[in-house]
Structure 1
Amino acid sequence: MHSRLKRFTFIVIAGFTAAYLAACSPQIANRGNLPEPEDLSQITVGQSTKGDVTDILGTPSTIATFDPNVWLYISRQVETLAFFKPEVIKQEVVVISFDTANRVDLVKQYHLEDGKPVEPTDRVTPTAGRELTILQQLFGNLGRFSDTDK
């Protein structure tokens, strides 16, 4: 009887340990569309057109906001460990620029090391008008009604 209790206790502890270790394993998520190097080598600067690029690489991840002749193919790997903040472990961006004749003008690759962090500002844009207290908002219009039937 005593050996059964020891065996049961060992199995329960081993089960909890396995569950604990499994919960702490990192989750890796792949996002985006990164072209294969052999596909990128098929694109020739000055010769390939937008149609050729779409046929070879597919549609871009995004098109630049202020220039529709700049296409971006973006891919990233994000690792999440338990409840910690997700961390980008790999990121690649392929930029393809087209000239006015819709021919490839530039093909450039960027990696995670090439990125620069963007620090958001904590400034607040002021709004027009004045700030009212709750009482001013509730009772502010008392006595301001005018007779429009005159």
Structure 2
Amino acid sequence: MKKLILPVLLAAFIGGTSACTPTIDNRGNLPHPEDLAKIVAGTTTRDEVQVLLGTPSSSLNYGDESWQYISSVSETTAFFKPEVKDRKVVSINFDMQGIVKNVTYKGLNDGQEIVLVDRETPTAGKELGILEQLMGNVGRFSKPSSGGGLGQ
């Protein structure tokens, strides 16, 4: 019996410590610096950027077009909320002719936290209780239509 206790305690200790090991998640598409160096503002076209860097993570089409290549590294320990350790964003802006206007780089410190509003928009209508929802259609039968439905 005593010989069994030590291996069980050792296995529990190893299992417990390995459960608390953080998981690292790499997400996104960050282009290589050599490829980014080939992009020249005023001469590189949208198609050339597509060939060099691939499909962007996100694109904006408000007036001048903008492509974003986003990469992030997050760490999750056990059941806790993931913590973002690093984020890099490369933004490429194009003019109306599809030529690169400028390339900007942003990191984790450049981001801003968005505060969500927790208000609810009121809607018109009656709130039904659970019994009203369950029993609401009892006794309501639709009349058969004369427009050539099933069974005619």
TM-score of the two chains, using structure 1 as the length reference? 0.80
Aligned partner (choices 103, 120, 126) of residue 124 of structure 1: 120
- Structure 1 runs not aligned, ≥5 long: 140-150
- Mark the CA change 1:62 to 1:37 in structure 2 (over 3 Å): closer, same or farther: same
Tell me which residue corresponds to 2:5.
Answer: 9
For 2:115 and 2:63, locate their aligned partners in 1 and report how far apart those are by CA, in whole Å.
Answer: 24
Tell me which residue corresponds to 1:52.
Answer: 48
Aligned partner (choices 25, 28, 33) of residue 32 of structure 1: 28
Matched, 1:74 2:70: yes
Contact preservation (8 Å) 2:64, 2:95: no
Aligned partner (choices 43, 47, 52) of residue 39 of structure 2: 43
For 1:23 and 1:136, locate their aligned partners in 2 and report how far apart those are by CA, in whole Å.
Answer: 47
Q: Which amino acid aligns with 1:41?
A: A
Q: CA RMSD in A?
A: 2.3
Map 1:110-149 onto structure 2 (within 5 A). Answer: 110-127=106-123, 129-131=124-126, 134=129
For 1:131 and 1:68, locate their aligned partners in 2 and report how far apart those are by CA, in whole Å.
Answer: 46
Q: Which amino acid aligns with 2:49?
A: V
Equivalent residue of 1:64, what SS? strand
Map 1:86-105 onto structure 2 (within 5 A). Answer: 86-105=82-101
Shift of 1:53: 0.5
Contact preservation (8 Å) 2:64, 2:93: no
Tell me which residue corresponds to 2:143.
Answer: none
Shift of 1:133: 6.0
For 2:96 and 2:14, locate their aligned partners in 1 and report how far apart those are by CA, in whole Å.
Answer: 60
Aligned partner (choices 12, 15, 21) of residue 17 of structure 2: 21
Equivalent residue of 1:30, what SS? strand
Q: Which amino acid aligns with 1:47?
A: T
Shift of 1:66: 3.3
- Mark the CA change 1:8 to 1:33 in structure 2 (over 3 Å): closer, same or farther: same
Deviations 1:50-73 (A, max 9, x none): 111011111101111535711010
Identity of aligned residues (%): 41
Deviations 1:10-38 (A, max 9, x none): 22211111111111000011111001111
